Amino acid sequence: MVKSSQCPLCHDRGLRLLETGAVPCQCVQERSRMRLRQKAGLTPGMEEFTFRNFSLDYYSKQLYHPDKHISYYQGARQAVQAAEAFVQEFLKDAHTSGLMFVGPIGSGKTFLAAAICNALIDVGVKVQFVVVPDLLDELRASYRRHYWASIRDENRSEDWENEPLIERVLKVPLLVLDDLGAHNYTDWTRNTIYSLLNYRMNYRLPVVITTNLGLNELDGFLGERTTSRIIYLCRSFRLMVEKDIRHIKSQEREGRYRR
């Protein structure tokens, strides 16, 4: 039985034959992007989190940041402009400064962080998106499975697809730490976050962070030496909303929300 091909252009050969010669088929790049996205830690729904789909309509022009003389709308516009600029800067210099998005639940922080990931994946950049509590749980489990020992194994595979999570979050070109918030941090988790950020600072690897805590609050949970590295690694932008955007979108889908 002959297996049917998936790509109508190259019939799964990976090359298209043109009058000028053979050229790589676009399906090769598309499959590469799919692999990057699957390994990046983004959920299927996050594929829609793009700069094009980020709406400023949810941010008030009448309400103002308490610590700045700008409206919620202006603050959000500054944040999305910084995110778009970060992508361009990263493509020129992979050691550029990272970003931190601060704001309450449902203010668009995760959306912007995922939009950065999607934009970079589209051009073939490896990224890793992790939710901090999930990351810590998985690292604790992998520690018990002796993954740390595998990092020291000189004969380990260099295949990114098979790397342990700890090695990916340490060395991936761009790391996103989502929800670095008020959790039950132990000495082990504080030291783990510190070691991760310290490694990336020393090797000039950018980090994008989302949190609902200000720096003073983070200092209380994580300690001064960790927040010092966050300040060094990231430029901070605050997102403020009158209502949780997720709730508004849910009401919009049900036809129950009026602006």
Please choose, from the candidates 239, 212, 241, the residue with its C-alpha nearest in 3D space to the C-alpha of residue 59. 241
Would 256 be classed as within a structural domain?
Answer: no
Residue 1: the pLDDT is 37
CA dist 7 and 11 (Å) reads 5
Would 64 be classed as within a structural domain?
Answer: yes
Residue 170: the pLDDT is 95
Contact 34, 44 (CB under 8 A): no
Measured CA to CA in angstroms, residue 233 lies from 90, 131, 189, 203 at distances of 14, 18, 19, 11
Would 182 be classed as within a structural domain?
Answer: yes
For 238, the enclosing helix (H) or strand (E) is strand 234-238
Residue 60: the pLDDT is 96
Residue 158: the pLDDT is 45
CA dist 234 and 36 (Å) reads 24
Q: How do beta strands 15-18 and 21-24 pair?
A: antiparallel
CATH assignment at residue 104 = 3.40.50.300
Q: Phi first, then psi: what are they for 105, rounded to 5°?
A: -60, 135
Contact 175, 130 (CB under 8 A): yes
H helical segments located in the chain: 26-40, 72-92, 109-121, 132-144, 147-151, 165-171, 187-202, 215-222, 224-233, 245-253
Residue 102: the pLDDT is 97
Helix (H, G, I), strand (E, B) or coil at 240: coil
Q: In sequence order, what DSSP letters do the residues of 40-73 get, joined into one string? A: HT--GGGGG--TTT--GGGS-SS-B-TTSSSBHH
Residue 154: the pLDDT is 46
Q: pLDDT per position in the chain (259 positions), as tens?
A: 334 457 766 666 655 666 666 666 566 566 666 777 878 899 989 999 999 999 999 999 999 988 778 999 999 999 999 999 999 999 999 999 999 999 999 999 999 999 999 999 999 999 999 999 999 998 888 766 654 455 555 444 444 444 688 889 999 999 999 999 878 888 999 999 999 999 999 999 999 999 999 999 999 999 999 999 999 999 999 999 999 898 888 877 776 655 5
Question: What total of structural domains would you count in the chain?
Answer: 1
Would 132 be classed as within a structural domain?
Answer: yes
| Burial of 42 (C-beta count, 10 Å sphere; 0-12/13-18/19+) | buried
Contact 73, 56 (CB under 8 A): yes
Domain that holds residue 214: 25-152+162-248
Residue 252: the pLDDT is 74
Residue 259: the pLDDT is 55
Residue 2: the pLDDT is 36
Would 99 be classed as within a structural domain?
Answer: yes
Would 141 be classed as within a structural domain?
Answer: yes
Residue 257: the pLDDT is 56
Would 48 be classed as within a structural domain?
Answer: yes
In this prediction the pTM is: 0.82
Name the amino acid, one letter, at 225. Answer: R
Would 238 be classed as within a structural domain?
Answer: yes
